[in-house]
Chain A
Amino acid sequence: MSKELARTIPITHKYGLHARASTVFVQRAQDFASQVYMSRDAGEEVDAKSVLQLLTLGVQQGDQVTLRIIGDDAEQAMDVLSDLIKRDFFGV
């Protein structure tokens, strides 16, 4: 059943959502069928399965990002992806 979830998470990684972190994030996001969107500090929303788009958000340490996920596996995707952010992308 299709669901829509949203969650706001602070970015704690020293370099913010930098290139390697974005790459790791996108690779995980692409594992899910749901659409994944991200916005920074309630600004414009971008496709979070695109590294290029994520980078254009210019997310830095201390920013709040909002994940919005729509689809059948939205719950699972939200768990995995928000965990990834909280754990600083596993230190990349």
Chain B
Amino acid sequence: METRKGIPVSPGIAIREAMILDTEEIHIPQRFIESERVEAEAARYEEGVRAAEQSLQREIERMGGDRGINAQILEIHKTLLGDPVLKNEILSLIRQKQYTAEHAVARTMSRYIKKFEVMDSPIIAERVHDLYDIEKLLLSTLLGSRLDTMQELDREVVVIAHNLTPAQAAKLDSKWVRGFAMDVGGKTSHTAIMARALGIPAVVALEEISTAVIAGDTVIIDGFRGLVIVDPDDATLRDYRAREANVHKVARRLRKETTLPSETIDGHRVELQANVELPQEVHAAMALGAAGIGLLRTEFIHFQKPRGGEAWHLQHYQRVLKEVGDRPVTIRTLDLGGDKGLERAEDQREENPFLGCRSIRYCFANPELFREQLRAILRASMFGRVKIMFPMVGSVGDVERAVGFFEQVKEELRQNGEQFDTEIPVGVMVEVPSLAITADQVARHVQFFSIGTNDLVQYTLAVDRGNEHVAALYDPVHPAVLRLLAASLAAGDRAGIEVSICGEMASERLYIPLLIGLGYRRLSVSPPMIPEVRRIVRSIQVYDAVRLAAQCSGLADGMEIAALLRSWARDYLPDTGW
């Protein structure tokens, strides 16, 4: 038995057989061999290299006398495959560490890939793609008919990997996956988003879990405490089986309530929508009774490799709209930069990315990128109820500029005789304090506001909550934040436009009564939070909540406000078991 500690990013308990995902799309079924099979395995590897070289040679010959760039690349691949140093390294892993040929290839290639990725010569760093190509070729040759991909799962497993790429996440057959454990990652990684969407436990930042676990091992993933236990002993297993059963009991109870209306005791409706990114999350959200998609993130489309483009955007939106049916979907345009890594060349790195060329500013600076997404959104509008939302705008000028792009793309489509919904509602994220302060002026130019509390809080308080030295200063109920929340809503109401909240604040047990008390009636939260938020909404009287909000607004200290909210929650809110 071996216990490892990481960061818990999605709650729950899972006890299942491990499935290990080594490289993108290729799953290596077995990683170690018996000592007496070592020589046979070495021979199998050499045979695999020969077969792969032959297949490249055939391709080169098919090109005839063409000595163009494609033939040259294949020639390079062939030379790399037969590289004597590479071969020796792989063979020694097979002979000395009893790795299977596939495992030895994956390990060795990933070492070189990492080396290449940090090269200061961009021309050589680019060649990392060739390494991925030959790795894939070698692995698929070696695995032959045993090529085992994620879609072919036939039993429940926990997925163990170095990292889950967006492409892998999109391909996962989620019905068999019961938990995730990753070497790297954080709270906003794809693994985390995906796991929370599926309502299954996940632990990340385990450093070397993907090498510590062997396929087929029994693994416990404790998404509450951030533990992963490999090959547990009987007592531990018994203990965790009991806990797993209890978690399921609570989840079942909450799920039973998905058909109950989301309204307060005194009959005020509070619309619950979902924040999603991946198509799988949409399904989960609808099953939990979401009234629509309040925030569709689109960044992952941008990071698809090869890079997405308009067709990818459109395909993704159509998939989401089909799943959602006649409920609304608010598509947020690309929100790149800040914490959503933009790959930048050395000389273009920013001192202060959160205050830099991110999000809508990045789109303005890359108009083609922006236009291709706007075109896709317009085309998608024929397939459902689409709304469009611009992030990070800071002034009426920004809004007009974004709308200008949108109108221009509409005109293009019109001239091409293409159809789209001419009445698409246009809204903005209220997440920059300057916009919240001038909300009354901005409200005349848009059809809705969505308050992004995560950034609004960090920009208002000048606190990066990812920075451990100041994270304690990150206070969503700082009086300044409450004033901005109240003012934005009031401005929206006066202008007769919809105002909703899509930040994490909307799914926090403590803050929901306050938000309702301030007058908010539309919340957008991550799908697995919907049952709990609904339960909280259903236990609130608006009358009490309004008094609570008034009391909070009279306090000058965030700590006092938080204390008041805690005591209110103790007295009025049910224990939801989370």
Contacts and interface: CB of A to CB of B under 8 A. Distances in A.
Given A16-B124, A56-B115, A58-B121, A50 B72 contact: no
A56 B124 CA distance: 8
Nearest to A55: B124
B354 interface: no
Contacts of B79: 23, 26-27, 51
B323 to A, nearest CB: 44
Contacts of A51: 76, 79-80, 83
| Size range of the chain B interface in the assembly | 10 to 19
Given A50-B84, A50-B85, A58-B121, A19 B115 contact: no
Contact of A52 (B75, B83, B119, B123): B83
B112 A52 contact: yes
B22 to A, nearest CB: 20
Interface string B68-88: 000010011001100111100
A12 interface: no
A29 B303 CA distance: 40
Contacts of B120: 58, 60
Interface in B410-457: none
Interface string B111-136: 01001100111011001001000000
Interface residues of A, number: 20
Interface in A39-58: 47, 49-53, 55-56, 58
B127 A55 contact: yes
A58 B119 contact: yes
Q: Which of A19, A56, A58 has the most CB of B within 10 A?
A: A19
A3 to B, nearest CB: 22
Given A56-B112, A56-B116, A19 B84 contact: no
Nearest to B86: A52
B72 A20 contact: yes
A59 B121 CA distance: 8
Nearest to B73: A19
B84 A55 contact: no
Interface in A4-46: 15-20, 23, 26-27
Nearest to A92: B72
A18 B84 contact: no
A55 B116 contact: yes
Contact of B76 (A15, A19, A59): A19
B63 to A, nearest CB: 16
Ranked 10 nearest A-B pairs via Cβ: A50-B85, A58-B119, A58-B121, A23-B79, A52-B83, A60-B121, A50-B83, A15-B123, A19-B127, A23-B76
Interface of A: 15-20, 23, 26-27, 47, 49-53, 55-56, 58-60
Given A18-B124, A20-B72, A58-B121, 12 more contacts: A20-B76, A50-B84, A51-B83, A52-B80, A52-B83, A52-B86, A52-B112, A55-B116, A56-B112, A56-B115, A58-B120, A60-B120
